[in-house]
Amino acid sequence: MSQLTVSLLQTPLHWEDKAANLQHFSQLLSQLPAGTQLAVLPEMFTTGFSMQPQQLAEPADGPTVQWMRQQAQQHRIIVAGSIIAEEAGHYFNRLLWVLPNGQVAGYNKRHLFGYAGEDAHYQSGTSRVIVSVNGFRVLLQVCYDLRFPVWARQQPQPDGAAEYDVLLYVANWPDRRIQAWRTLLQARAIENQCYVVAVNRTGHDGNGIYHSGHSMVVSPLGEILLELSGETAPGHFTLQRSLLEEVRQQLPFLKDRDTFFLQ
């Protein structure tokens, strides 16, 4: 209960080709080292960052969710990644958190990337989602959410404790703005005194946009503990609860945070 071993599956994606992507990730998941407890896939890992939800969206219990359940059960791990989901006629960029027992939690991306027209095709989420594993509380976030610190900010708890321990981001973040990616990931870790785990894709997408990865694990002090380079470059890291507690006890900055409420 004092550690969490995470695998970051940084890789190119086959543009709008679900079958090819699922086959590729099946192979990557089969090669995970022993002891992996959480495998994180990129944003829209079955399609790439597509604006074609009418053709590509799946229902809440569609084939990709069934595949994630099967992989989680087979490998006895949690599998996380975002897909294009459809619900009641609306489309969502939904980050799924799938347990080996088949239970599924989902977070709908709050901040839609209007610069690429995402807001014209998808519905914005309205609620934050925190999940738990091995005593670590994990706040789920997607790509463009990273630019909005209020949405990730630790909220005051009645007992004074931190609201969560890990910020998890999945992304299709382009290379042309990779400096912002690296800087903001470190900032979110520092200001929230939490680990940040962030998985980005690599390669060119169907619009010719290049992604260079730089998937990362960042410490509660903002130190980069792991940064991936290369096209298909899975990385693995074990988060230590002792470091989290040490930082919060020695530098109790969260108690001085401003009080506000998200609506």
How far apart are alpha carbons 81 and 96 in whole angstroms? 6
Tokens 């946009």 — which residue? 209
Is residue 143 flagged as an active site residue?
yes
> Residues 61, 103, 44, CA angle at the centre, nearest 5°?
55
Whether 172 and 211 have beta carbons less than 8 Å apart is answered as: yes
Tokens of 121: 């095709």
* DSSP-assigned states of every residue in 95-125: EEEE-TTS-EEEEE-SS--GGGTGGGTSPPP
Is residue 43 flagged as an active site residue?
yes
Q: How many residues can be counted in the chain?
A: 263
Instruction: Please pick, among 58, 109, 118, 194, the residue that the annotation labels catalytic.
Output: 109
Instruction: Please pick, among 43, 58, 86, 118, the residue that the annotation labels catalytic.
Output: 43
Mean pLDDT, consecutive 10-residue segments, the chain of 263 residues? Answer: 94 98 98 97 98 97 97 98 97 98 98 97 97 97 98 87 96 98 98 98 98 98 96 96 96 86 66
Is residue 255 flagged as an active site residue?
no
> Residues 185, 189, 194, CA angle at the centre, nearest 5°?
140
In tens, the pLDDT along 174-224 reads: 999 999 999 999 999 999 999 999 999 999 999 999 999 999 999 999 999
Question: Which CATH number applies to 3-256: 1.10.3720.10, 3.40.1350.10, 1.10.10.10, 3.60.110.10?
Answer: 3.60.110.10
* Domains in the chain: boundaries: 3-256
